[in-house]
Structure formats: C-alpha cells, structure tokens
Amino acid sequence: MNRTVRSAALIACVLGLSLSIGGCDLIARKATEGAVKTATGGAVDVNGDKVTVKGKDGSQATVSNETKIPDGFPSEVPLRDDGSVKAAVTTQAPNGGTNYMLNIRFKVSQTELLEWYKSELDEGGWKTTSTVATGDGGMIAAEKGNLTLNVVAGSDTGDGFTSVLTMQVGPKNN
C-alpha cells in the first residue's frame, strides 16, 4: 500500500469524521476532498460516511465510520458477535491485495478477548507468530494460508465499553 495513500486515508478519516460530528456535512466533504487531493494528487470521493482515495499507482483506501464488517472481509477470521464496530478501513494495493482494519468495542475484559481470539485462531488452523501481553491488553499476530492477522486489545474509556479491539488482516507480503 502506497504510503501517500495511507497518509491520505488517515487525513480523510480524522478531518472528515471530526467535521461531520459538528453537523457540517457539506463543509466536511469539501474540506476532506481538498485536503486529501492536495496531499496525494490522487482522486478523492466522499460519499456519505465513506471516503475513498485512489493513488496514482492504483492503490486505494476507503475509510468509513459505518458500523458493520466491510464487504469481502475474510471469512477465515473469527469474529465475536458481541462487539460494536466503530470504524472500518479497507485498502487496495496496486497488485490487488486487500487489507482490512477494524475497530470494535466490547463489554468484556481485554484478557477475555485475547484468550477467546487465541483459542479461536488455534482451532481455526491459524499459526500464531507473535504474542505480546501488557498490563491492560496485548497483541496476537497470526498467519493462515496467504493471510496475516494482527489483533490488539486495549482498554476503552467511553461509551460504556470496557475494551477496544483493533484488528488488521490482509495478504502476506502486502
């Protein structure tokens, strides 16, 4: 994934979502399109809750504050059904590889989340490549076939949730 497109996606996410919170949807859309186009020189499309940035090299990133799992998300990746999706990012590399990043909130402990994911990944044939434990969370990295997965659990301080899970999944070497 082109670094410029990733940076533009971040700009789009922060600028677009922060402006739209204030109810300034048209201003948010125009400001986001302008900032990202200036940063990348690429094409920008703001459509409702989605911002899509297309790089000159064919890479693409879509940032959304939709509260659902994106279309095409790999079915091999275990997902708990008790979470609340807060953000989703989908990126498309010039070679066709698709990466997904999710932010999901839960009302269970970080330890419980990580134990559940470790168990589900093991049962699903994933090979754990790395684990890190911290005082209030941790990370699991795993591979299966051509996919890599990183699951990071930490504490959440708002909205009545106790844990936040950030998940990144995509093809190896992409």
96-153 pLDDT, tens digit per residue, is 788 898 989 999 988 899 999 999 999 999 999 999 988 778 999 999 999 999 999 9
d(CA 50, CA 36) in angstroms, rounded, equals 13
- Domain assignment of residue 91, yes or no: no
90 within a domain of the structure (yes/no): no
> What is the token pair recorded at 12?
């789009």
| CB atoms closer than 10 angstroms to residue 162 | 15
95 in a domain, yes or no? no
- My answer on whether 120 and 144 are in the same domain is yes
pTM for the whole thing? 0.70
Range of the structural domain that residue 43 is part of? 1-65
Q: Could you read off the pLDDT of 37-48 as tens digits, one per residue?
A: 666 666 777 777
Largest CA distance in the chain: 48
Judge if 118 and 156 occupy the same domain: yes
